[in-house]
Structure 1
Amino acid sequence: MLYRKKNSEKTLTGSRLKSYAYALLCRKEYSKSELIEKLLQYAIDPNEVNEVVEQLTEYGYQSDQRVAEQTLRSQRFQGKGPQRIKQKLLQKSVNSSYIEEQLQEIDWTAEAYQLKVRKFGTDIEKDAKKRAKQIRFLQYRGYDLDIIFKVIDIKEDDYIP
């Protein structure tokens, strides 16, 4: 494994730079900009970094599409809503258009309801403070207000997944 020298000299060029890029991609999917940022920490020539990343993208080793799909899966598994998923993709500098169709196919009302039930149960709250707590929780998770208001007022008998 390649480590950064203590005096922070940039030493990677040519095949060592490519090897380091492959090693990074073997452990984790990186967006194009994340990979460039990682490689620039160690590379001597920024132009060479761009060439290496373009080659990796061309050969299919690096894909923003895969990063977007993986982010969607992991964030959804964590109970995050569409706004939080888009925010995460922005942090990774990935265009959300890669998964826009998949985001629209998901029933976010059902996802939000399951999250609400897991956290607060199936009862409809009448107390304003408890309702506000549910609203804040779902907002923080990245759900839109129209979905949130539907979800906190759904009766268990009315819910059809």
Structure 2
Amino acid sequence: MKNQAYLHAIRLLTKRNYSKAKLIQKLKQKEYTPTEIEEAVSEVIAKRYLKEDEYIESRIKNFMRRGDSPARIQQKLSGEGCHAELETVLSIFKEYEFTSNDQLGQLIEKKLRSTPKDLVDFPKKQKILQFLASRGHSREAAQSALEQYLDT
């Protein structure tokens, strides 16, 4: 009979993609032994059921659409136990013809959608700059993009 950890891993992977680290974490939650987990993970990798590259690419696209900067995306992936070089993140940005300036413009537009440009006061600007910084964008780039948005 197949290893129960392997069968559980298959069930998990039929629902969505996981990174290797996240799959191991899920299997540990079910209290499988380290040996069972290692065997299960090795088998799903060997059979190409676990495709970490595809998982990383989909996470990068997801973070990119949310407005996270390339450096922030790399940091978040590291926090998830995935290893992605900054060049990988930047190549996906390039592939989709998406830049940090595009992101900044979209985020600013989203935040100011209901506010006329001439009514944006200093506290509102600071709040937007703080929000953009929380997405990993540099203060200078955010300030420049905000000024450009308000000048148009």
Q: State how many pairs are aligned.
A: 146
1:16 and 2:16 are equivalent in the alignment: no
Q: 1:139: Cα distance to partner?
A: 0.9
Going from structure 1 to structure 2, the CA distance change for 1:44 and 1:94 (only over 3 Å counts) comes to closer
Q: 1:43: Cα distance to partner?
A: 4.6
The secondary structure found in structure 2 opposite 1:142 is: coil
RMSD after superposition = 2.7
- Give the TM-score taking structure 1 as reference length: 0.75
Q: Find the partner of 1:143 among 128, 137, 148.
A: 137
Whether the 8 Å CA contact 1:124–1:154 is kept in 2: the answer is: no
Q: Find the partner of 1:88 among 76, 86, 98.
A: 76
Q: 1:14: Cα distance to partner?
A: 4.1
The secondary structure found in structure 2 opposite 1:150 is: helix
Measure the CA separation in 1 of the matches of 2:66 and 2:99.
Answer: 16
Which residue number corresponds to residue 123 of structure 2? 129
Q: 1:155: Cα distance to partner?
A: 4.3
Q: 1:17: Cα distance to partner?
A: 1.8
Q: Which amino acid aligns with 1:140?
A: S
Q: Find the partner of 2:51 among 50, 60, 63.
A: 63
Q: Find the partner of 1:114 among 98, 106, 112.
A: 106
Q: Deviations over 1:109-147 (max 9, x none)?
A: 111111101211583787432221110011112222232
Which residue number corresponds to residue 88 of structure 2? 99
Whether the 8 Å CA contact 1:125–1:131 is kept in 2: the answer is: no
Structure 2 residues without counterparts, runs of 5 or longer: none
Measure the CA separation in 1 of the matches of 2:90 and 2:72.
Answer: 16
The secondary structure found in structure 2 opposite 1:143 is: coil
Whether the 8 Å CA contact 2:6–2:39 is kept in 1: the answer is: no
- Give the TM-score taking structure 2 as reference length: 0.79
Measure the CA separation in 2 of the matches of 1:94 and 1:113.
Answer: 29
Measure the CA separation in 2 of the matches of 1:155 and 1:78.
Answer: 19
The secondary structure found in structure 1 opposite 2:3 is: helix
Measure the CA separation in 1 of the matches of 2:36 and 2:141.
Answer: 47
| Regions of 4+ moved over 4 Å | 155-158
Structure 1 residues without counterparts, runs of 5 or longer: 1-12
Query: What's the % identity of the aligned pairs?
Result: 24
Bigger Cα Rg: 1
1:42 and 2:30 are equivalent in the alignment: yes
Going from structure 1 to structure 2, the CA distance change for 1:156 and 1:131 (only over 3 Å counts) comes to closer
Q: Which amino acid aligns with 2:147?
A: D
- Structure with the bigger percentage of helix: 2
